[in-house]
Chain A
């Protein structure tokens, strides 16, 4: 499975990569903001995208809206410090499939990825 990580912090991308490696996911592309991600999704064709919200140039919400305009199916998980209910609803309306609030434990991120992929696979079956 190919995973695209979008976060302006290399530290956070490395933490997420370490969790993904423990789950056996090693085909990973990284992007440092929404614009960078949009330039990479076409060639990389990810099966799952983890996206931060607050980033320079193009934030995560703007990325989700732009990405969803052309792709309705690839699952997106927002991984962010934005914890207010209104923000979660805003992200879901824009098209994210699941939501992880930072800080997170490896188990929580793993659980959210499992839930998301399970739903997507059921829908595709």
Chain B
């Protein structure tokens, strides 16, 4: 498990929750799951990362936790099927991923995508093939969430057939 990809997300999630919601986040012991496409919980905020790294990060919430956290962030009760709910989960994910990328070691050049949000039980998330998923369990007063990091340094990525063809051309 590469601490270089764990510590920035821990620091960032704690910073985002304390700054935007005045709520501490307790970090439990990270684990690894092997390339599972299934998200841990029912609500997933997803950000793609590219540049010197490749992959994505997911903030996965049980619905009840997500509803309480969104209410705290927005100041209003928002139903899970409202577009505003997905927007709030996406913005939270954006702030956590953006904050983490600024903390990566070695001045990596990393670009992040705009967030996407998936809601529903047992949904799947496409992750880079063969990359283990680092799961960072977090507890808050609003409930649990899981940060799922599936990224690797670009130098370690096996080139795609398109990239090989481009280099050969």
Contacts and interface: CB of A to CB of B under 8 A. Distances in A.
Given A103-B15, A104-B19, A105-B19, A9 B87 contact: yes
A81 B87 contact: no
A54 B50 CA distance: 14
A73 interface: no
Interface string A36-76: 00000000000000000011100000000000000000000
Interface residues of B, number: 23
A54 B75 contact: no
Interface stretch (B35-43, B88-96, B135-143, B149-157): B88-96
B79 interface: no
Contacts of A14: 74
Interface string B8-26: 0000000110011000000
A11 B16 contact: no
Contact of A54 (B15, B107, B112): B112
A81 B94 contact: yes
Contacts, number: 57
Interface residues of A, number: 21
Contacts of B19: 103-105
A92 interface: no
Determine chain A's interface SS by DSSP, over half rule: loop
A30 interface: no
A11 B88 CA distance: 5
A55 B95 CA distance: 13
Given A54-B112, A56-B114, A83 B99 contact: yes
Interface string A70-107: 00000000001111100000000000000001111100
B119 interface: no
A27 to B, nearest CB: 22
Determine chain B's interface SS by DSSP, over half rule: helix
Given A18-B75, A54-B112, A83-B102, A102 B95 contact: yes
Contacts of B90: 9
A90 to B, nearest CB: 12
Interface in B67-99: 73-75, 84, 87-88, 90-91, 94-95, 97-99
A83 B84 contact: no
Interface of A: 8-12, 14-15, 18, 54-56, 80-84, 101-105
Given A11-B88, A103-B19, 14 more contacts: A9-B87, A9-B91, A9-B94, A11-B74, A18-B75, A80-B98, A81-B94, A83-B98, A83-B102, A84-B101, A102-B94, A102-B98, A103-B99, A104-B19
A-B pairs, top 6 by smallest CB distance, nearest first, are A81-B98, A83-B102, A103-B19, A9-B91, A11-B88, A11-B91
14 contacts: A9-B88, A10-B87, A11-B73, A54-B114, A56-B114, A81-B97, A81-B99, A81-B102, A83-B98, A83-B102, A103-B19, A103-B20, A103-B95, A104-B19
